[in-house]
Amino acid sequence: MIHYTKPSITQLEIDYVTDAVTNGWGAHCYEYINRFELLFAKHLNVNYAIATSSCTGAMHMGLAALGIEYGDEVILADINWIASASPITYLGATPVFVDIKPDTWCIDPEKIEAAITPKTKAIIAVHLYGNMCDMPALLDISKRTGIPVIEDAAEAIGSQLGSKKAGALGTFGTFSFHGTKTMTTGEGGMFVTQDKALYEQVLTLSNHGRDKNQTKQFWPDAIGYKYKISNIQAAIGCAQVERIEELIRHKKNIFHYYKTHLVDLPLSMNPEPDGTTSGYWMPTIILEEGINRDHILNAFKKNDIDGRLFFWPLSLLPSFPLCKENIISYNMYKRGINLPSYHDLQTNEMDKVISIVREKLTK
């Protein structure tokens, strides 16, 4: 089977986990967590990082720290994984889905402007598949309106705007280290920010509401959450951050191999607008209109290739109202396929994927 993704685990990860399992208890139970946070913050060039059990948890706490509550609205793109929207609902707020740009597959700033109401309390910029949102336009909206822009960089390890890394541009950023991601801890996430006050709020929320300066034992100062990562998971994360440039390089090499060999076909692939760099978490083809992607997906299945569907528009899900005005979202999802892209994918395996795509599109 040619899987669409799987993690890259080396002896370094095994050694760190072995040490954490053997020695990471009692007074040492946070050592790998603290180290992981410091390493990741240094990689992103941000002041503060909090390792969490998931990106969803990081987003939930960040929104809570901003004061998002019942009756508020948060704007995000219609095409995303539900984890970008779920935390909004946890707080009783309403996700407002707007359309995407055809050239980035990410949220359209013009649609954001039209969707802002007095209830709008945040904008979530999801860097879909590693594609960078139009952050200059989003940050301009934030500056003019006072509405914070939050980066969901779950899929954007290795993506940049100029020299600034995805996740380090907004009021706060969140990352996922699920087993499918460019770097992994199995399950896990990270909250990052440059804002000390926001960091301290989230730090308190992440530990059952216990303030770090509280001297009374077992005394939560507020109702918080339990979104901590484990020391063992963080040990894997430390090794992955030490290897992060290698992991990003593999992803980019895989994407460019596909792109070079899928030229002159009726499809497009992940965009990389001027001034941005993509981490290419998931090399993706968007077929031209009128082409049935099922022919390719069925051929993949017959040849033990694990092709993946493009994300659905969230407004098509039963939990949310339809937003048929999001014309690009409702059209594009039907034409997208994620191609296999795990780190040790071999050239002959990519050639097999490419040959099937070419065959189905040139008949």
Burial code (b: 16+ CB inside 10 Å, e: under 16) for 44-56 equals bebebbbbbbbbb
Q: Exposed (0-12), middle (13-18) or buried (19+): which is 344, by Cβ within 10 Å? A: exposed
Indicate if the pLDDT at residue 5 is higher than 80: yes
Task: State both tokens at 23.
Answer: 């020695």
Task: State both tokens at 189.
Answer: 């996430």
User: What is the helix (H) or strand (E) element at residue 76, kind and residue range?
Assistant: strand 73-77
> For a pLDDT cut of 70, what percent of the chain falls above it?
100
**Sign of the four-CA dihedral 347, 350, 352, 354:** negative
Model pLDDT for residues 340-350, shown as the tens digit of each residue: 999 999 999 99
List the domain boundaries for the chain: 11-242, 244-362
Task: State both tokens at 232.
Answer: 């063992």
Q: Mapping DSSP to helix (H, G, I), strand (E, B) and coil, where does residue 56 land?
A: helix
For residue 76, list its beta bridge partners.
97
- The mean predicted confidence, pLDDT, of the chain is 97
Model pLDDT for residues 235-271, shown as the tens digit of each residue: 999 999 999 999 999 999 999 999 999 999 999 999 9
Model pLDDT for residues 298-325, shown as the tens digit of each residue: 999 999 999 999 999 999 999 999 999 9
Q: What is the pLDDT of residue 266?
A: 98
* Average pLDDT rounded to a whole number, residues 162-189: 98
Indicate if the pLDDT at residue 363 is higher than 80: no
> Which pTM was predicted?
0.96
Q: What is the pLDDT of residue 212?
A: 87
Could you identify the residue written with the tokens 């339990």?
Answer: 226
Q: Exposed (0-12), middle (13-18) or buried (19+): which is 145, by Cβ within 10 Å? A: middle
Task: State both tokens at 240.
Answer: 């992955």
For helices 231-242 and 11-23, angle between their N-to-C axes, nearest 10 degrees:
150
Q: What is the pLDDT of residue 75?
A: 98
What CATH fold (topology level) applies to the domain 244-362?
Aspartate Aminotransferase, domain 1 (3.90.1150)
- 308 φ, ψ to 5°? -125, 140
| 39 contacts 238 by C-beta, under 8 angstroms | yes
Q: What is the pLDDT of residue 297?
A: 97
What CATH fold (topology level) applies to the domain 11-242?
Aspartate Aminotransferase; domain 2 (3.40.640)
Q: What is the pLDDT of residue 219?
A: 92
Indicate if the pLDDT at residue 287 is higher than 90: yes
Q: CA end-to-end span of the chain, whole Å?
A: 25
Could you tell me which of 165, 159, 104, 163 has the C-alpha nearest to residue 137?
Answer: 104
